[in-house]
Copies of this chain bind each other. A is one copy, B any other.
């Protein structure tokens, strides 16, 4: 008789955003006249930029003509896209990353979930607390996290690195030594950023203790301040300790288009085993590449036209972020984030828990946010709002909250 992967059964409850979806649907069904504004899940709302639409149409036409039709993509992605990424995201910032160290995928969620597969089950992970749930959940599913404590909502074999007001939501080096360190900056969910100097400490630490950093830079397009690194490879020594994950979801609105990439420098080795070759093997065996038309859309992100249009799109969302930040501050909330990230992190008022504040906002302002406790125990009493709504909705949501 076949048996299931018991690790799946250890996962408590269901995925954060599914729970939110169910609560919102139930509320909407009970209150059909309410106009709910969703500033919860990090989904974008602005349409794809004209340069991207043009590239998509053109690639679709190629697929309709035998002379230009494309079948299976190269395992690791088309060179035109990998070259555009290497030039624009790395060479232009002085980072030494070559096109063949870039692996095109269908998004950073998949990559951040799959990357743990190339590591031993014996490895111990360290995560920020609060944290994007995918890092922990996918390690639970693999069997790397030990026993769950439902009271404390923590796993026995995970090193949690609290990110709180005290440390400005940037974790301190952990007391216990991890093997794999997940870092995400600009941060989801707190909206905090890490300075180049702070990140250099992490790189030095990882090289010193023999840990690998999985650096999720999905939100780098939102960085507005000078001393905030866009890539971990801006730090000395990162090529021997860091994997970087990138997404097109937030800088180019590709949440429904699906495109991302992972960077693994060739120097990144455990003994004589290169992580680059393991990930290449995984891609070749379990994946068949991102769609050709989507890779052409990704290329358009780096065209002059595309870059100009997307700067405007990011500015649009950051105007929302600034509006939420200032509005909540004016209303007396304790607020952070929103300067180098599209997320605003606020403290629930009057001692409310995160979920209490979720229900309170949903019921009294018809505004949906994300409970901070859903991201980890140190997120309790915090709450995340995103800047990805329309400007009109964002303004209305803030006015409704201020009026409470």
Q: Which of A288-333 contact B (CB under 8 A)?
A: 288-294
* Cβ A63 vs Cβ B47 within 8 A: yes
A57 CA / B58 CA spacing, docked (Å): 9
Contact digits for A103-133, partner B, Cβ 8 Å, 1 yes 0 no: 0001101100110011111110000000001
Contact digits for A271-286, partner B, Cβ 8 Å, 1 yes 0 no: 0010100100110111
Residue of B nearest to A281 (CB): B8
Q: Is A26 part of the binding interface, using a Cβ–Cβ cutoff of 8 Å?
A: no
* Cβ B46 vs Cβ A138 within 8 A: no
Residues of B within 8 A of A117 (CB): 5, 141
Residues of B within 8 A of A288 (CB): 106-107, 109-110, 255, 258
Q: Is A64 part of the binding interface, using a Cβ–Cβ cutoff of 8 Å?
A: yes
Min Cβ gap A218→B in Å is 12
* Cβ A134 vs Cβ B285 within 8 A: yes
Residues of B within 8 A of A15 (CB): 281, 284-285
* Cβ A211 vs Cβ B48 within 8 A: no
Min Cβ gap A209→B in Å is 8
Residue of B nearest to A283 (CB): B15
* Cβ A4 vs Cβ B50 within 8 A: no
Q: Is A93 part of the binding interface, using a Cβ–Cβ cutoff of 8 Å?
A: no
A288 CA / B255 CA spacing, docked (Å): 8
A3 CA / B120 CA spacing, docked (Å): 5
Contact digits for A58-75, partner B, Cβ 8 Å, 1 yes 0 no: 001101111001111101
Q: Is A1 part of the binding interface, using a Cβ–Cβ cutoff of 8 Å?
A: yes
Q: Is A41 part of the binding interface, using a Cβ–Cβ cutoff of 8 Å?
A: yes
* Cβ A56 vs Cβ B60 within 8 A: yes
Residues of B within 8 A of A110 (CB): 286-288
Residues of B within 8 A of A60 (CB): 53, 56-57, 60
Q: Is A385 part of the binding interface, using a Cβ–Cβ cutoff of 8 Å?
A: no
* Cβ A6 vs Cβ B134 within 8 A: no
A167 CA / B159 CA spacing, docked (Å): 55
Min Cβ gap A64→B in Å is 4
* Cβ B63 vs Cβ A2 within 8 A: no
Q: Which of A210-235 contact B (CB under 8 A)?
A: 210-212
Classify chain A: how many residues form its interface, as a range.
35 or more
Most B Cβ at <10 Å: residue of A56, A110, A282: A56
Min Cβ gap A284→B in Å is 5
* Cβ B64 vs Cβ A282 within 8 A: no
Residues of B within 8 A of A2 (CB): 119-120, 123, 179-180, 210-212, 270
* Cβ A1 vs Cβ B64 within 8 A: no
Other-chain residue from B18, B45, B275 in contact with A4 (beta carbon distance below 8 A): B275
Q: Is A9 part of the binding interface, using a Cβ–Cβ cutoff of 8 Å?
A: yes
Min Cβ gap A404→B in Å is 28
* Cβ B9 vs Cβ A282 within 8 A: no
Q: Is A351 part of the binding interface, using a Cβ–Cβ cutoff of 8 Å?
A: no
Q: Which of A48-106 contact B (CB under 8 A)?
A: 48, 50, 53, 56-57, 60-61, 63-66, 69-73, 75, 106
* Cβ B8 vs Cβ A118 within 8 A: yes
Q: Is A344 part of the binding interface, using a Cβ–Cβ cutoff of 8 Å?
A: no
* Cβ B278 vs Cβ A4 within 8 A: yes
* Cβ B64 vs Cβ A53 within 8 A: yes
Q: Is A137 part of the binding interface, using a Cβ–Cβ cutoff of 8 Å?
A: yes
Residue of B nearest to A106 (CB): B106
- 17 A–B contacts from the bound complex (CB under 8 Å): A1-B211, A2-B179, A3-B123, A5-B120, A6-B120, A9-B273, A47-B64, A47-B66, A53-B60, A53-B61, A56-B293, A70-B256, A72-B256, A106-B288, A109-B287, A138-B285, A141-B282
6 additional A-B pairs beyond A4-B120, A60-B60, A258-B291, beta carbons within 8 Å, are: A3-B119, A5-B121, A8-B118, A41-B72, A46-B69, A134-B285
